[in-house]
Amino acid sequence: MRFHLPRLLLLCALFVPVVGQADHDVHQTRLLLISEEEELRISRQAWTNTLNDPNVTLSINPAETDPVLRVAERIIAAAKRSDYAKRAQSLEWEIVTIKDDDTQNAWALDGGKIAIHTGMFPMLFTESGLAAVIGHEVGHALMRHGTERASQHRTANVGLNLAGLFLGLDPVTGQLANLAITGGVLLPFSRSHESEADHLGLLLAAEAGYDPEAAVFVWERMAESSDGAPPEFLSTHPAHDTRIANLTRWMPEAVEMYERSRKAPDALLPDITTP
Ligand SMILES: [Zn+2]
């Protein structure tokens, strides 16, 4: 596991700890301390910071970038036909492929900015697998999980103001990173968020014409992919079996949507060779 991208990792931790898991699918109370307009502004700023980070290299290989763009386009179109249509219309969607074959990670900002690391590709196999991950990330952004999480941070009275939490990406402080990564106060929320993103992501992928069963295979492969240490994408995810059980429970609804959908071509993803 490489941790040479502290700023990026911090970003992931704050906005989208990509995996987790929940015992309950929804929670009633939403704590959102900033407006959607402010959320967009903060997201734009954080995105610019990330793309300008000298440690971040974007892939320019069409074999890697084209599938990501193709799948994202269909998922976002599906989001615009969903119950979240208004929200999906208002976001400033953008997706990049980060050239980093060693990192199994993907993340999203609530303003609609999404990144996937090329290290995820071997876990995904096909564009349906990619759709499972992109659907999950789009789900986080639609449901404003990053904002909710940051709002939680503030009320946890940790001495950080909200803007500082979002924008504290520039002067990276170990304290903030540690807090974001290990803050136990946020864990239950995270699990709930992960489960919500799994559910919405599954339905979005199916509506977009991708086989929802791929999601199960993706999580299975990721859980099995390493000897002992889990991949980064799973490192905060303690209850793999519960996640699979949830996906199985939601699958009939997703399959029904998939059967009705305009099917997407399901091409193989490129092989990534790690030196
Ligand atoms: Zn997630």
Reported confidence tier of residue 47, pLDDT bands at 50, 70, 90: confident
Q: 273 lies in a domain? A: no
Pairing of strands 106-108, 94-98: unpaired
Residues 217, 115: contact at Cβ < 8 Å?
A: no
Catalytic-residue membership of 137: yes
- Is position 136 within any domain? yes
211-247, pLDDT tens digit by residue? 999 999 998 887 777 544 444 444 455 467 788 899 9
In-domain check, residue 143: yes
Is 190 a domain residue?
Answer: yes
CA of 253 to the centre of ligand 1 (A): 21
Cβ–Cβ < 8 Å for 110, 144: yes
Domains contained in the chain, number = 1
Return the C-alpha torsion angle 186, 189, 191, 197, nearest 10. Answer: -130
Flag whether 116 is in a domain. Answer: yes
Tell which residue, 111, 71, 82, has the closest CA to residue 209: 71
CA distance 271 to 268: 9
Distance 235 CA to ligand 1 centre (A): 12
Question: Per mean pLDDT, which range of 42-51, 88-97, 201-210 is the poorest?
Answer: 42-51
> What's residue 34's pLDDT?
76
User: Tokens 């999480």 map to which residue?
Assistant: 149
How many Å apart are CA 97 and CA 92, to the nearest integer?
17
Q: What is the pLDDT of residue 237?
A: 52
| Interval between CA 240 and ligand 1 midpoint (Å) | 13
Token look-up 């040479």 returns: 4
Instruction: Answer yes or no: is 1 within a domain.
Output: no
Give the alpha-carbon dihedral of 145, 13, 152, 87, to 10 degrees: -20
Please state, in angstroms and as integers, the Cα–Cα distance from residue 208 to each residue in 27, 120, 213, following that order.
Answer: 26, 21, 13
Bridge partners of 107, per DSSP, are 115
Global confidence as pTM: 0.77
Least confident piece of the model among 108-112, 239-243, 249-253:
239-243
User: Does residue 245 belong to any structural domain of this protein?
Assistant: yes
> Would you say residue 184 has pLDDT above 70?
no
142: in domain: yes
Distance from the alpha carbon of residue 16 to the mean position of ligand 1, in angstroms: 5
Between the CA of 92 and the centroid of ligand 1 the distance, in Å, is: 19
Identify the active-site residue in 39, 64, 127, 137. 137
Domain that holds residue 109: 6-260
